[in-house]
Structure 1
Amino acid sequence: MPSRYVGTESTSISGVTGGSQQLTVLEAKVNLIGNGWQKHPIVTGPEAPCILSIDYLRNGYFKDPKGYCWAFGIAAIETEDIRQLSTLPGVSDDSSAVGLLRTEEQQVPIATATVHRQQYCTDRDSVIPIHEMIRKLESQGGVSKARSPFNSPIWPVHKSSGEWRLRVDYRALNEVTPPLSAAVPDMLELQYELESEAAKWYVTIDIANAFFSIPLAAECRAQFAFTWKGVQYTWSRLPQGWKHSPTICHGLIQTALEKGEAPEHLQYIDDIIVWGNTAGEVFKKGEKIIQILLKAGFAIKRSKVKGPAQEIQFLGVKWQGGRRQIPTEVINKITAMSPPTSKKETQAFLGAIGFWRMHIPEYSQIVSPLYLVTRKKNDFHWGPEQQQAFAQIKQEIAYAVALGPVRTGPDVKNVLYSAAGNNGLSWSLWQKVPGETRGRPLGFWSRSYRGSEANYTPTEKEILAACEGAQAALEVIGTETQLLLTPQLPVLGWMFKGKVPSMHHATDTTWSNGLLSSHSTPVPYWKPKSPRDSGNYN
């Protein structure tokens, strides 16, 4: 809340990390469940600290003594002084806007064999929207009538917004398409890089129908043919669903941005994010990038331009101050899911939660009973073990902590906790600076034992966990930083003294020598309390 609206009574609130904030107390009218306003004292401040039960508070509002209505848990901004990037000229209000990249028609790999698949039944609700989409794409030059020995079935996709997306099932075509050497960036590496920026302000730009903006060479079009209402069409532009479309699209957008000398940004195919310390700084950066994209021939939808904002979503992740979090709507969707009744439903649930595994300590061990019922050789049986795992992982998702930001400097301590349990390995990476009691997590990793690993000795398992944990940690913090290892067993004290005692298992010696040769990281000998025991990671 801006300072001119806060109360006058001051109070200090301490967090579990040992830090404290000076806030003010305000008598306000509060409405949390929609049944009317009631007076209640609340604390206010300019920031939006992460506190327990904030998701419940975000369902309600409060009014200050001047009658202004505010939302809980959202940092206040003097919005009257911040121009939104979506107000720029050239940004389109047309939800189906399609650009045309000013470049030569693209020569793409051609299938090594003819693929012809008949159209299968589609959802009735999709018929009218898909028909209108094809007509509009034809008028825009995206598709054209054709006669081709190739044919692939239409596969309409129902988006979360309620709209339909025209997609063709090119799985059979993809199998006979030659490879490309280029590739899109790794999404996890982009997240690590964005964490390291610890920015205060963000802007995101999503290019409208980017694939459909890229022209195809005439000799490459026949392989993309599809049939609708007895008429065969093919794409004049890059289609969705074809395996090389993301790679080609990413490369052309990257080239356009480099040619236009775009300011610092991150790009994943047609999604772009810029960051900075002030709203004005990110507005100027975002404006420059939009101008470059429009000049290149791409279309930008107004609804797909967000910011400047201090909290924003990029690649499905919520970002604030360099910290990545699970969006509230994702948490609500997952926690509302009913227990699966089939292998397919179990796989869908695992797919929904798997992306967030780095936020969940011992994820692999928790969900292992769910993977058992998805195996082909096993009949589907939902027992008490599966129900317990299902309930536990939903609870972990609901209370998942934010990760990051990745901090640098001589005072930053990077601590890796590793452990080897009965069912697998786990490790977590933490950063701590002076003034913090517990530190902040950068990620949680886990996996089940593979092959003969379950038969390793406890020492071997601990060394394996420490070794893999160190490799994962260095991907996050880089190789030029110090990493403190804290395994569950006191095996590293003698290892880093260069002395390997005699053992009955030669593998123990092999592991320790291998870890010594691959990591020259200083490792103190102590076993602190696991941060998981605290019950809170902030």
Structure 2
Amino acid sequence: MDALRRFNQNVVTPRERKYLRIIVHCGVYEYLGMPFGIKNAPSHFQIMMNEIFPEELSEGWLIIYIDDIIVCSKIWEEHMYRLSRVLTKIQSVNMKISLKKCHFGFKELKALGHVVSGLSLGIEKNKGAAVLLKPMPQNKKEIQLFLGFCGYYRQHIKDFASIARPLYKLCDKDTVFQMTVDRVKEFESLRQALTTSPLLLMPDIKLPFQLYIDASGDGLGAALHQVQIFNDKPVEGPICFISRQIKPSEASYGESQMGCLCLVWALEKLNYFLEGCVFQ
């Protein structure tokens, strides 16, 4: 579900309206509802939504990101009950939702640039298509925008830090921007890695995890996998990928030290998956 005109539904108190005044030729106007463009409007709206649905959020089946509301269920009867609870609260606070942006009873949906289902997490097709259509960067600003876009999906890309490392160097303040033949290949390599990234499985904390690590002079990398049953057959797939570049102070580490560093770093980064669970 999607809240209609999200911020405008937040009532501005009389004491605060003076800070949102607009002076025009015919007089002075004050906003009665929160306008778009105010710096703290998103965080204020998120707090408001959290206060409306505290029980539902604590039970773990409701996800809210600013004006996007997602209700998750395993069976239809349960879903209808939860949906009824959410809609009742929406009605009780006089909140309005945009029906044309709402989707009810779907097994998968698009959210924040991802395709989410009960089984997997993938990248929206139009996002991948947009990457293929991106022209070659002509300056540092354009390469930064490209890396920022790819970085948002880095959990889908194995060894992202190592692949993107040469391109990040182009963004250094003292580096002259030049797309050499090697840099073009690295740009295409990262673009290919994003558009061919695998679907990520939804983790099942009742099943054991497999943690794979890899360390080299280019960076640290780890992949969290799990074996799940699909069509009565065990299938191993990735839950997420993590990676980072080597720090200057770590460049002199030996092979065993680098391996230990990678393991400790991976355990810390993936703690929210692995704590209290069986893994190897």
Determine the structure 1 residue equivalent to 2:113: 316
**What's the secondary structure of 1:273's corresponding residue?**
strand
| Residue of structure 1 in register with 2:222 after alignment | 427
Task: Tell whether the 8 Å contact from 2:108 to 2:116 is kept in structure 1 after alignment.
Answer: yes
Give 2:145's aligned residue.
348
Give the conservation status (yes or no) of the 8 Å contact 2:208–2:277: no
- Shift of the alpha carbon at 1:355? 0.9
| The one of 225, 236, 245 aligned to 2:41 | 245
Q: 1:387 aligns with which of 163, 169, 184?
A: 184
CA distance in 1 between partners of 2:214 and 2:92 (Å)? 54
User: 1:365 Cα deviation (Å)?
Assistant: 0.8
Residue aligning to 1:452: 249
Larger helix proportion of the pair:
2
Task: Give 1:168's aligned residue.
Answer: none
Change (3 A) 1:283 1:330: farther
The structure-2 alpha-carbon separation of the partners of 1:468 and 1:241, relative to structure 1 and needing over 3 Å to count, comes to farther
How far off its partner does 1:256 sit? 2.0
2: CA distance, partners of 1:394 / 1:231: 53
1:387 and 1:376 map into 2 onto residues whose CA distance is 20
Q: Is the 8 A contact 1:262 1:289 kept in 2?
A: no
Post-superposition offset of 1:262: 10
Cα deviation 1:113-152 (Å, max 9, x = unaligned): xxxxxxxxxxxxxxxxxxxxxxxxxxxxxxxxxxxxxxxx
Task: Go from structure 1 to structure 2 and tell me whether the alpha carbon gap of 1:438 and 1:265 turns closer, same or farther (over 3 Å shift).
Answer: closer
> How many pairs are equivalent?
277
Q: Show structure 2 runs of 5+ residues with no match.
A: none
Query: How far apart, in 2, do the equivalents of 1:281 and 1:433 lie?
Result: 24
Q: Residue type of the partner of 2:110?
A: Q
Q: For the residues of structure 2 that align with 1:464 and 1:289, how far apart are their CA atoms?
A: 45
Matching residue of 2:83: 286
Q: Which residue is 1:415 aligned to?
A: 210
Aligned match of 2:261 in 450, 454, 464?
464
Which amino acid is 2:127 matched to? V
Deviation for aligned residue 1:226: 5.3
Cα gap change, 1:232 to 1:448, in 2 (>3 Å): farther
62, 69, 74: which is aligned to 1:272? Answer: 69
User: Partners in 1 of 2:35 and 2:192 — Cα distance?
Assistant: 40
Q: Which residue of 1 aligns with 2:171?
A: 374
Correspondence for 1:301: 98
Structure 1: distance between partners of 2:193 and 2:25: 48
Q: Which residue of 1 aligns with 2:237?
A: 440
Match of 1:330, as an amino acid?
A: K
Highest Rg: 1 or 2?
1
The 8 Å contact of residues 222 and 234 in structure 1, kept in 2 or not, is answered as yes
- Alignment gaps of 5+ in structure 1: 1-204, 485-538
8 A contact 1:317–1:327 mirrored in 2: yes
Asked if structure 1 preserves the Cα contact closer than 8 Å seen for 2:50 and 2:57, the reply is no
Q: Which residue of 1 aligns with 2:3?
A: 207
Code of the aligned partner of 1:419: D
Given that residues 426 and 445 in structure 1 are in contact (C-alpha distance below 8 angstroms), is that contact kept between their aligned partners in structure 2?
yes
Give the Å deviation of 1:277.
Answer: 2.6
Query: Share of identical aligned residues, percent?
Result: 22
Runs of 4+ in 1 over 4 A off after TM superposition: 225-234, 259-263, 433-438
1:194-248 Cα shifts (integer Å, max 9, x gaps): xxxxxxxxxxx11112211111223323334456789765533223333322222
Distance 1:438 1:299, change over 3 A: closer
Q: Which moved more, 1:322-331 or 1:223-232?
A: 223-232
Structure 2 CA distance for partners of 1:448 and 1:265, relative to 1, 3 Å: same
2:225 aligned partner, one-letter code: W
The aligned amino acid for 1:349 is F
2:278 to 468, 482, 496: 482
Judging changes above 3 Å, is the alpha-carbon distance between structure 1 residues 359 and 436 closer, same or farther for their aligned structure 2 residues? farther
Secondary structure of the 2:38 match is: coil
C-alpha distance after superposition, 1:445-491 (max 9, x if no partner) = 111012311122222111110011112222124x111221xxxxxxx
Contact between 2:63 and 2:71, CA under 8 Å: does it hold in 1?
yes
Residue 357 of structure 1, aligned match among 146, 150, 154: 154
1:269 Cα shift?
Answer: 2.1
Residue in structure 1 matching 2:123, options 319, 326, 348: 326
Cα pair 1:429 1:444 within 8 Å, conserved = yes
Taking the aligned partners of 1:441 and 1:301, their CA distance within structure 2 comes to 35
Seen in structure 2, the aligned counterparts of structure 1 residues 252 and 449 have a Cα distance that, compared at 3 Å, is same
